Each structure stands twice: as C-alpha cells, then as structure tokens.
Structure 1
C-alpha cells in the first residue's frame, strides 16, 4: 500500500507525518522541510521558506491536506477554491505550484497564466472559454492583468466569462478553482463587474499576503 505520508525527491525520503493505514496525521514542521526541498528542486537553490510567511503557509497547508477541523477554525471552506492575493513578487505563484506536491494522492490542478488563456482565446475563439471554464482542475495565475480578448473583431473579457462558467462547474460537479492575483477585491470588481465578483465570493476562500510583504524576486 502506498504511504502518502512519505515522498521521495531526488533519492531522498521526506516524511510529512504519520500514516496509520487509513489516515495521514500531518506535521507542519515536516511539511515545511519538504516544501523547502521541493522548492529548491523546482525553482533553484536560492528558494527558501520565509519566516514571515509561516502563518499564511499554515493556512494553505491545512487547506491543501483538507484538515476539516483546522480549516473550520480558520474560516476556510473546503468546498471552495483559493484566491491568493498579494503584492507583486510575494510568492503566490510559487506556492501554488509547490503546494500540490504535498498531496500527490489528490487530483492535481494545473497552474495556467491568465494571459496565456487570453492568447488562446485570440487564436481559437470561444472554444478556449469552454476548455478552461467547463472542465479541468486549474489555478488561474495573475488574474486581472491579462489583456482583453479579441477574436474576429469581437472583444471579450475572457477570464470573466470563464469564472462564470467555473461557478456553474462548482455547483454541478464540485470542481474547485484556484486563482492568484495582485488586485484587491474592489479592483477585481472594477475589472470584471459586480456579477463576476458576486460569483467569486462563492468560488473562493480569500487568503491574503500582507501589503508589506517584500518582493522575493529582487
């Protein structure tokens, strides 16, 4: 039987906690050790877990391992996806690319830059909205800075339409959606309108980096 509490990376075994044959009892310090190691593999040796991010990471890790009791205490709804908001360079994208590796037994989401989705729309039209809106497990990265879509002279707020479809997908098939963004809730409403903003409240748990978080890419 596979032991989901142990993960092997580059020949090194990392323990995330204890497994009794039915349930994994995760230990946050061990998860951090693994995330630091996996981060260096994915993003280079300069990657590190910053102490200032530990509280936010604790929230995200409890969500990703689906700890119902802890998430209830932290007001995280496991039926919703994540909307991670924060300043440029704070690490939103890296964390979302990284966290899914903690739970290899779960269905993995794909991190897709929103601008790439718009480029796809500009090339193949409304099929792109179907492809990203009506199925699949995705984290839409950098929501709100993508250009307006345009296909055969017709303008389209592509991600706005996709989010409306993803709301329907959540209701019908319980498929969650994740998003990263630099924008505030007010700015998102200005960008996508009140209707989409209303749906986003049902789609996402809001997890926010401090405005004072420094740019880790500098």
Structure 2
C-alpha cells in the first residue's frame, strides 16, 4: 500500500486524509464517508452512521488510528483494548466489526461471541482457556450474558478465566496484546458476574467507551 491515506473498496477509492510521505493526517468527515460505504458493503443498504453516535465513533476512530493526543483528551490509552458497552441493539458489535477495516495495516482481531467460548469449554474443557488465552487478538462479543461453563460436573466462570489469562499475557507482551469486548452490562453488573479480581484486571485491560443508556434499538 503506497499511500495509507487511501483505501479502495468495490473499485472506489476513498481518502481518509492527507499523507505527506511520513505521517498521515486523518480527516474525520472523510473517515465517516468511508465507514458509511464500508458498512453498507458489510451489513447491507440499511446500514448508516447515526448522528447520535458521532461522539462514540470519534473516540473509536482516534483509538484505532492511534491518535495519542486526542485519545489522551478522552482518557483513552492506545495500549489497552476497548470495552464497548451499551444497551441491546445500540450497534456495538457492528461498530467493532466495521472499525477494524479502517486500519488495514494493523493486526486484525477476531470477533468471537462469548457464549461460543463457554460452549467450547463445555465440550473441550480447559483447553479452551488456553485457546483463547493466547497471543491472538480477539473481540469477545456480548460479554457477561454467556451461560455458565460446566465440564465433567465442575462449574467454571469461563470468560472470567479467559480474561485473567489474557491479562497475564498482556503484561508479559509489554502491553502489545489486544483484547476487546462488547457488553450490555454496567460496571457493577460485570463485577457481580465475574468478581472483584476480574473486574480490577478489566480496568487495566480495557478502555471503557459507553453508549448513552437511552440509546435506542437500531435493529427495530
């Protein structure tokens, strides 16, 4: 890719800003045009960028393009992952699926429904904790509403264990490992679900970016 300020999708070239040969100066309105077009390709013609989501999108874009100065103004650490929280249907999963396309040169993350991790544990046992507590980049979707794990009669809070494993690896890799998640739960509900120890590790793993609680269901 000779010019990182341009992305071609479906034969159309989109500009994300200006590239002077060394650094890329992003242009947020141009980014929104690209995200709207890419969103329609991924999710169909009904997809659109909602005006009320612009603040959330701005924070996420600053994070993904690693704009440290603007991230700092929002209290966002570019070395941590993203925990995107909000009501059901607010568009969390859609945005996390979409925004990884904004930075094609960065290492991509895989979207995994949290319930699938539990189902895997119920079938395969503790190997699942190793499989997801590894050096891959993941975004765990719908964190906190997955069923409890059970293997040979023993119960386990599977996603809690996965997050603890990924936290240890986060420290070992000098904060280069990325873990993201989406959730419908509040911070208090997450602590109730996973316990204080996991909640405190989550604070170190994630930047919390939250939709307004009054955000409507976009799927209706």
Which TM class, normalised by the smaller chain length?
Answer: over 0.9
Q: Distance in 1 between matches of 2:169 and 2:134?
A: 6
- What is the CA deviation profile of residues 154-207 of structure 1, one whole-angstrom value per residue up to 9, with x for unaligned ones? 111100000101111111112021010000000000000000001011111110
1:11-160 → structure 2 map (5 Å cutoff): 11-160=11-160
Using structure 2 for the length normalisation, give the TM-score. Answer: 0.97
Cα distance, 1:125 vs. partner? 1.0
- What secondary structure sits across from 1:143 in the alignment? coil
The ranges of structure 1 where at least 4 consecutive aligned residues each deviate by more than 2 angstroms after the TM superposition are: none
Instruction: Report what 2:185 is aligned to.
Output: 183
Instruction: Report what 2:207 is aligned to.
Output: 205
Cα distance, 1:119 vs. partner? 1.0
Q: Distance in 1 between matches of 2:56 and 2:170?
A: 25
Instruction: Report what 2:171 is aligned to.
Output: 171
Using structure 1 for the length normalisation, give the TM-score. Answer: 0.98
Cα distance, 1:2 vs. partner? 2.3
Q: Distance in 2 between matches of 1:5 and 1:93?
A: 25
Q: Distance in 2 between matches of 1:86 and 1:216?
A: 12
More off after superposition, 169-178 vs 91-100: 169-178
- What is the CA deviation profile of residues 95-114 of structure 1, one whole-angstrom value per residue up to 9, with x for unaligned ones? 00000100000000111100
Q: Distance in 2 between matches of 1:21 and 1:142?
A: 40
Q: Distance in 2 between matches of 1:171 and 1:23?
A: 29
- What root-mean-square deviation, in Å, do the aligned CA atoms of Structure 1 and Structure 2 show? 0.8
